[in-house]
Amino acid sequence: MVRVLIADPIAESAIRKMKDAGLDIVLRDASSDGPIKDQIKGFDGVVVRSATKITREVIESSDTLKVIVRAGVGLDNVDQEAAKEKGITVMNTPEAPTVSVAEMVLSLMFALSRNITRADSSMKDERWEKKKLAGTELWQKTLGIIGFGRIGQEVAKRAKALEMNVLAYDVVDITEACRTYGTQKASIDDIISKSDYISLHVPLLPQTKGMIGSAEFEKMKPTAFLINTSRGGVVDEAALVEALDSGKIAGAALDVFETEPPTDWSLIKHPKLIATPHIASSTTEAQARVGDLTASKLIEALK
């Protein structure tokens, strides 16, 4: 029988799906099961979230392990090099949160344009600031997307439905994707200088760290809004504070930060900024999809 160790808690529905596929499922209890390096022997697959670390030592002490599935995105807790050396397949589920993040981007664009968060907090302070809170429409505005992968494309699809003009930039060839979504391929400079909304969807890499800094804010429209749901560090936070203070841009919305949770809260408290605590993928549906994708990928790989 093919044996799978569920090292961190995952959705009940995913466990049922794996059992239905004939897999022998063992739920690990980290408090009583001892070190995973001793427990891993005899298992063909292991499922982890972020808590359990599949280190080189764990991989080397495994004897029948063929597949490691990280239910979620980041693979920092799995030694991929050690797995590769032993011919063990490592998988994750980066596609699970795509729609949730795209919907969050649209929410933040609306919230920025219509001062939703400021309107709500002034009402709760018993103030009726009708005149101060006039906004702008998204209709026929230009959205610039930097990083036209899974999430960037879902954002584009939704923005097109709002009849926005969508520009996209990526380091890979996106000609076909632009045709599919009716977006216009653009240079990063065009996106920076022509967009009313700029949304970031790149991974955090040495090349993307601080890619939006003072030089970029200098070229943006004073009416532009910046949205970052990708990774903290892609935006230079000190430069953003300066751009908001000096009116180089109209506002920004951040779901991700250089330090999480932040230690310096001055940017968060800026009146032109909307801040959310890394919740773009925190939806019931995205969580369910993580479980579902984990189960299907594991079943497929162990077939």
User: Residue numbers of the site for ligand NAD (CB under 6 A)?
Assistant: 73, 94, 97-98, 101, 146-152, 169-172, 201-203, 205, 207-208, 229-231, 255-256, 278, 280-281
In the bound state with ligand NAD, the residue whose beta carbon lies nearer, of 45 and 147, is 147
Q: Catalytic pick from 49, 114, 150, 278?
A: 278
Residue least distant from ligand NAD (Cβ): 149
Shortest distance, CB of residue 190 to ligand NAD, whole angstroms?
13
Shortest distance, CB of residue 71 to ligand NAD, whole angstroms?
14
Determine the Cα–Cα distance for residues 145 and 191; give it in Å rounded to an integer.
Answer: 8
In the bound state with ligand NAD, the residue whose beta carbon lies nearer, of 146 and 226, is 146
Shortest distance, CB of residue 128 to ligand NAD, whole angstroms?
34
Shortest distance, CB of residue 144 to ligand NAD, whole angstroms?
11
Shortest distance, CB of residue 175 to ligand NAD, whole angstroms?
13
3 is catalytic: no
In the bound state with ligand NAD, the residue whose beta carbon lies nearer, of 142 and 199, is 199
Instruction: Count other C-beta atoms under 10 Å from residue 178's C-beta.
Output: 20
Q: Where are the beta strands (DSSP E) in the chain?
A: 3-6, 24-27, 45-48, 67-70, 89-92, 142-146, 165-169, 184-185, 197-200, 225-228, 251-254, 273-275
In the bound state with ligand NAD, the residue whose beta carbon lies nearer, of 68 and 108, is 108
State how beta strands 197-200 and 225-228 pair: parallel
In the bound state with ligand NAD, the residue whose beta carbon lies nearer, of 45 and 152, is 152
The tokens for 219 are: 């070229």
Shortest distance, CB of residue 110 to ligand NAD, whole angstroms?
17
Q: Catalytic pick from 231, 237, 258, 289?
A: 231
Interaxial angle between packed helices 98-113 and 284-302, expressed in degrees from 0 to 180 and rounded to the nearest 10: 160
For residue 51, count CB atoms less than 10 angstroms from its CB and return exposed for 0-12, middle for 13-18, buried for 19 or more.
exposed
Contacts 24+ apart (CB under 8 A), 130-138: 136/223, 137/113, 138/109, 138/110, 138/113, 138/162, 138/164, 138/197
Determine the Cα–Cα distance for residues 245 and 271; give it in Å rounded to an integer.
Answer: 10
260 is catalytic: yes
Contacts 24+ apart (CB under 8 A), 19-27: 21/295, 21/299, 23/298, 23/299, 23/302
In the bound state with ligand NAD, the residue whose beta carbon lies nearer, of 61 and 232, is 232
Q: Which residues pair with 166 in a beta bridge?
A: 143
Residue 121 makes CB contacts below 8 A (sequence gap 6+) with: none
270 is catalytic: no
Active-site amino acid positions: 231, 260, 278
